[in-house]
Structure formats: structure tokens, C-alpha cells
């Protein structure tokens, strides 16, 4: 099955990004630390081409620390500066500013060598929906500028923001690509809340999550829901979670949709533990 969606405002956003790219010195690309490669927009990579950029692995506080470090190494070995970021950690925000200054300075040095009057460096911030872009912008500007929401697609237009006196930042709407050829990518993004829940069956998403956790984080399932690590029958697993968490209908039957909501909420909020849904192949 190929998952497709391409709202009109996202097509427009791509065109605007292509037009504005010539105005900036470098790009800040935001990805979700829980699925860094899956949350990179391949269409966006085509648009950015050879533009200098940095990658920010957002929501590091929800991701597996060891795997996040592996991802940082993965990007750095490809000559892409990378940082893991928790927007609520001031030191992380300061690291972003410092790295942005370093990238911007390289461009400004070239302009100065050509005899061009120095100016504030300019960056474009890009990323798929719901990756934490608006919150980071507000932290960088140290005031509420961008709208913040817990659903995809809150930012709808481009906006220039001054970050202290360090650089100017161009915000852009989050854009997804037209379709997911790899269904696993769609499941990862659905699991972390990047694409709208209505696009896939919640129960299918949770089956994907549970199978991944069984293989990579088996003790987390047992700790959270008292599930036997060796249980393979998904029907039994859903029933065990439902009974343990009280997701029951009248008559005492387990409501599988409620179970799905519980597991996804626990995953997205970090109550299940620090989990990363994909690992780099270096």
C-alpha cells in the first residue's frame, strides 16, 4: 500500500522555498530524533541541493540517547553538522545559535573577501509538520512569534524572524512529500504524530509499534503494561493492555481503539520510555 497526501498549501510551500532559497546563506533542517531519516523530506533534499545546512534532531528528550548519538555521527560523517535538541533546554538552544553563527560566518567571510558590505547572516528553517519548528523559533527569538500546536500543519506561511543580533531566520510551512513509497516510513511518522492519525488505521500503527518494541525494547512493554516479553499473539497483547489499563466497553470487552490511543499517547509523550524507531546503517 502506498500512502498519499499532498494538500495544495504544501505544493505552494515547495515553490516558495525554491524561490526564497537564493536569499539565505544556509538551511536549518529539523528532523524528529525518534525517526531522523524517515522525517527527512526527500523532495526537500532535491530542492535544497548543494545548499549549506545543519540538521537538528528535535525532541531528543523522547528519543533513545545512544541511538541519537549514532545518528549525529551518521550525519557528521556525511559532512553535515548535526545537533540533538530539546527546545526546553536553554543550553541546547544556545548550541543551535552558536552552530548557526559558525555556518553563517563562512558565507559572510566570502562576501567580505569580495568587497561586499557585511550583513547579518540569513537562514531558512525547514522540516516536516509537527517536528517542533514553531517552538524552536520562539525559543531562538526569545518571544512568541510562531504559532505552536500539537497537530501537523499549523504554520501556513513564510515569516522572517530576527534571532538576537546573530542572524535572520526565514520560517517556512512544514511540508510532506506526495507519497510514502515505503510503508514503514509512513508507520514511523504516524506513530510519532507527524502525519494525521486519520491517514492510517490506529490499530495497524500500534501493531507496528508493538512489533518494533518487542524486537528492540522488550522490557519497556513489560514495565508499562505487564506484558510477557515472549507473547507473540497480537490479540492477546491488545487484550492484556486493555484489561491492565481499563480500556473496556460495557460487558467487560476490551476496546481495541482505546488500547491504540493509550499506546500511541504513551509513546508520543515518552511515558513508554526513550524510544527511537529507526537506526542508522553506517
92-143 pLDDT, tens per residue?
999 999 999 888 887 778 778 888 777 778 898 888 888 888 899 989 988 7
Residues 175 and 88 reside in one and the same domain: yes
- The model's pLDDT over 130-140, given as tens digits with 9 standing for 90+, comes to 888 889 998 99
Residues 163 and 34 reside in one and the same domain: yes
Alpha-carbon gap, residue 109 to 258, rounded angstroms: 57
Q: Is 232 a member of any domain?
A: yes
Q: Is 184 a member of any domain?
A: no
Residues 11 and 144 reside in one and the same domain: yes
Spell out the residues 6+ positions from residue 264 whose beta carbon is closer than 8 angstroms to its own. 191, 193, 197, 202, 205, 206, 209
Task: Output the domain CATH number for residue 42.
Answer: 3.40.50.300
Residues 252 and 218 reside in one and the same domain: yes
Q: Is 185 a member of any domain?
A: no
Q: Is 50 a member of any domain?
A: yes
Q: Is 231 a member of any domain?
A: yes
Q: Which value, in Å, is the radius of gyration of the alpha carbons in the chain?
A: 21
> Whole domain around residue 245: which residue ranges?
201-269
Q: Is 280 a member of any domain?
A: no
Residues 99 and 206 reside in one and the same domain: no
Residues 167 and 233 reside in one and the same domain: no
The structure's pTM equals 0.87
Residues 258 and 173 reside in one and the same domain: no
Flag whether pLDDT at 148 surpasses 60: no
Residues 157 and 35 reside in one and the same domain: yes
Task: Output the domain CATH number for residue 235.
Answer: 1.10.1580.10
Alpha-carbon gap, residue 173 to 253, rounded angstroms: 43
Q: Is 106 a member of any domain?
A: yes
Residues 47 and 126 reside in one and the same domain: yes
The total number of structural domains that make up the chain: 2
More confident call, 213 vs 44: 213
Residues 111 and 205 reside in one and the same domain: no
Amino acid at each position: 500500500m502506498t500512502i498519499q497526501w499532498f494538500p495544495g498549501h504544501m505544493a505552494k510551500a515547495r515553490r516558495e522555498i525554491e524561490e526564497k532559497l537564493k536569499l539565505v546563506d544556509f538551511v536549518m533542517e529539523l528532523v524528529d530524533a525518534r525517526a531522523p531519516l524517515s522525517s527527512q523530506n526527500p523532495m526537500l533534499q532535491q530542492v535544497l541541493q548543494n545548499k549549506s545546512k545543519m540538521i537538528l534532531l528535535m525532541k531528543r528528550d523522547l528519543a533513545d540517547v545512544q541511538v541519537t548519538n549514532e545518528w549525529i555521527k551518521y550525519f557528521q560523517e556525511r559532512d553535515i553538522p548535526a545537533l540533538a535538541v530539546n527546545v526546553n533546554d536553554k543550553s541546547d538552544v544556545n548550541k543551535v545559535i552558536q552552530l548557526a553563527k559558525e555556518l553563517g560566518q563562512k558565507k559572510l567571510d566570502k562576501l567580505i573577501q569580495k568587497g561586499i558590505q557585511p550583513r547579518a547572516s540569513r537562514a531558512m528553517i525547514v522540516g516536516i509538520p509537527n517536528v517542533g519548528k514553531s517552538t524552536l523559533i520562539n525559543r531562538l527569538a526569545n518571544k512568541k512569534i510562531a504559532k505552536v500546536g500539537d497537530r501537523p500543519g499549523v504554520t501556513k506561511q513564510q515569516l522572517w524572524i530576527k534571532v538576537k543580533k546573530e542572524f535572520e531566520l526565514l520560517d517556512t510551512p512544514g511540508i510532506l512529500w506526495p507519497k510514502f513509497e515505503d510503508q514503514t516510513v509512513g508507520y514511523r511518522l504516524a506513530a510519532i504524530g507527524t502525519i494525521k492519525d486519520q491517514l492510517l488505521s490506529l490499530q495497524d500503527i500500534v501493531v507496528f509499534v508493538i512489533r518494533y518494541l518487542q524486537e528492540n525494547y522488550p522490557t519497556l512493554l513489560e514495565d508499562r503494561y505487564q506484558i510477557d516479553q515472549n507473547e507473540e499473539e497480537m490479540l492477546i497483547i491488545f487484550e492484556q493492555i486493555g484489561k491492565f489499563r481499563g480500556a473496556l466497553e460495557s460487558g467487560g470487552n476490551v476496546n481495541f481503539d482505546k488500547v491504540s490511543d493509550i499506546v500511541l499517547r504513551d509513546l508520543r509523550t515518552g511515558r513508554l520510555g526513550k524510544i527511537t524507531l529507526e537506526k542508522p546503517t553506517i
